[in-house]
Protein backbone atom coordinates (compact mmCIF):
# COMPACT_ATOMS: atom_id res chain seq x y z
CA UNK A 1 0.00 0.00 0.00
CA UNK A 2 1.32 3.42 -0.97
CA UNK A 3 1.71 5.97 1.79
CA UNK A 4 -0.13 9.26 1.45
CA UNK A 5 1.79 12.47 0.85
CA UNK A 6 0.82 13.42 4.41
CA UNK A 7 2.55 10.32 5.76
CA UNK A 8 5.60 10.72 3.53
CA UNK A 9 6.07 14.33 4.71
CA UNK A 10 6.16 13.21 8.34
CA UNK A 11 2.49 13.78 9.17
CA UNK A 12 1.54 16.79 11.31
CA UNK A 13 4.96 17.14 12.95
CA UNK A 14 6.89 17.07 9.67
CA UNK A 15 4.49 19.36 7.83
CA UNK A 16 4.42 21.84 10.72
CA UNK A 17 8.24 21.99 10.62
CA UNK A 18 8.16 22.62 6.86
CA UNK A 19 5.55 25.37 7.16
CA UNK A 20 7.32 27.02 10.11
CA UNK A 21 10.59 27.07 8.14
CA UNK A 22 8.90 28.33 4.96
CA UNK A 23 7.11 31.19 6.75
CA UNK A 24 10.38 32.17 8.45
CA UNK A 25 11.98 32.22 4.99
CA UNK A 26 9.10 34.32 3.60
CA UNK A 27 9.64 36.86 6.37
CA UNK A 28 13.23 37.52 5.20
CA UNK A 29 12.81 36.90 1.47
CA UNK A 30 13.29 40.31 -0.24
CA UNK A 31 10.32 39.67 -2.54
CA UNK A 32 7.98 38.54 0.23
CA UNK A 33 9.16 40.21 3.44
CA UNK A 34 7.10 43.39 2.93
CA UNK A 35 3.92 41.28 2.93
CA UNK A 36 4.89 39.61 6.21
CA UNK A 37 6.17 42.66 8.07
CA UNK A 38 4.02 43.34 11.12
CA UNK A 39 1.85 40.27 10.49
CA UNK A 40 1.01 37.54 13.01
CA UNK A 41 3.48 34.92 11.83
CA UNK A 42 2.35 32.40 14.44
CA UNK A 43 -1.17 32.59 12.99
CA UNK A 44 0.16 32.28 9.43
CA UNK A 45 2.14 29.20 10.46
CA UNK A 46 -0.86 27.62 12.21
CA UNK A 47 -3.22 28.20 9.28
CA UNK A 48 -0.55 27.15 6.78
CA UNK A 49 0.11 23.91 8.64
CA UNK A 50 -3.61 23.10 8.84
CA UNK A 51 -4.08 23.81 5.14
CA UNK A 52 -0.97 21.85 4.13
CA UNK A 53 -1.88 18.86 6.33
CA UNK A 54 -5.41 18.73 4.97
CA UNK A 55 -4.21 19.16 1.39
CA UNK A 56 -1.64 16.39 1.77
CA UNK A 57 -4.29 13.91 2.93
CA UNK A 58 -4.14 14.35 6.69
CA UNK A 59 -7.06 14.28 9.08
CA UNK A 60 -6.74 17.96 10.03
CA UNK A 61 -9.56 20.33 9.30
CA UNK A 62 -8.59 23.69 7.84
CA UNK A 63 -10.30 26.45 9.80
CA UNK A 64 -9.13 29.43 7.74
CA UNK A 65 -10.65 31.35 4.87
CA UNK A 66 -10.56 29.86 1.39
CA UNK A 67 -7.48 30.86 -0.62
CA UNK A 68 -9.31 33.18 -2.99
CA UNK A 69 -10.84 35.15 -0.09
CA UNK A 70 -7.63 35.14 1.96
CA UNK A 71 -5.59 36.57 -0.93
CA UNK A 72 -8.23 38.90 -2.42
CA UNK A 73 -6.99 42.42 -2.98
CA UNK A 74 -3.36 41.52 -2.28
CA UNK A 75 -2.35 41.84 -5.95
CA UNK A 76 0.11 38.95 -5.69
CA UNK A 77 2.09 38.46 -8.87
CA UNK A 78 3.60 35.33 -10.37
CA UNK A 79 7.12 36.29 -9.25
CA UNK A 80 5.92 36.35 -5.64
CA UNK A 81 4.17 33.02 -6.10
CA UNK A 82 7.37 31.46 -7.43
CA UNK A 83 9.35 32.96 -4.52
CA UNK A 84 6.83 31.42 -2.12
CA UNK A 85 7.15 28.03 -3.77
CA UNK A 86 10.96 28.34 -3.77
CA UNK A 87 10.87 29.00 -0.01
CA UNK A 88 8.77 25.86 0.47
CA UNK A 89 11.23 23.84 -1.64
CA UNK A 90 14.15 25.11 0.46
CA UNK A 91 12.24 24.33 3.66
CA UNK A 92 11.46 20.80 2.46
CA UNK A 93 15.06 20.23 1.43
CA UNK A 94 16.14 21.46 4.86
CA UNK A 95 13.83 18.88 6.45
CA UNK A 96 15.27 16.08 4.29
CA UNK A 97 12.14 15.62 2.16
CA UNK A 98 12.73 13.51 -0.95
CA UNK A 99 12.63 14.76 -4.52
CA UNK A 100 9.44 12.86 -5.36
CA UNK A 101 7.56 14.49 -2.49
CA UNK A 102 9.00 17.93 -3.24
CA UNK A 103 7.84 17.62 -6.85
CA UNK A 104 4.35 16.58 -5.71
CA UNK A 105 4.11 19.57 -3.35
CA UNK A 106 5.37 21.99 -6.02
CA UNK A 107 2.73 20.70 -8.45
CA UNK A 108 0.02 21.15 -5.82
CA UNK A 109 1.18 24.65 -4.87
CA UNK A 110 1.41 25.75 -8.49
CA UNK A 111 -2.06 24.36 -9.16
CA UNK A 112 -3.42 26.83 -6.59
CA UNK A 113 -2.15 29.87 -8.46
CA UNK A 114 -5.59 30.76 -9.82
CA UNK A 115 -6.83 31.25 -6.26
CA UNK A 116 -3.81 33.30 -5.17
CA UNK A 117 -2.73 35.55 -8.04
CA UNK A 118 -4.43 38.86 -8.75
CA UNK A 119 -7.20 38.63 -11.24
Dihedral over alpha carbons 55, 57, 62, 66 (to 10 degrees): 30
Check whether 26 is labelled as a binding-site residue.
Answer: no
**Phi, psi (rounded to 5 degrees) for 56:** -90, 0
d(CA 89, CA 107): 11
Residues flagged as binding site? 71
Known binding-site positions for heme: 71
Amino acid sequence: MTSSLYQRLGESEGITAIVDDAVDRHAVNPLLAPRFSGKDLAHAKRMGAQFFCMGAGGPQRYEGRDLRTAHAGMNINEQELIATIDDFVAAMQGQGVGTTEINEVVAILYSLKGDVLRV
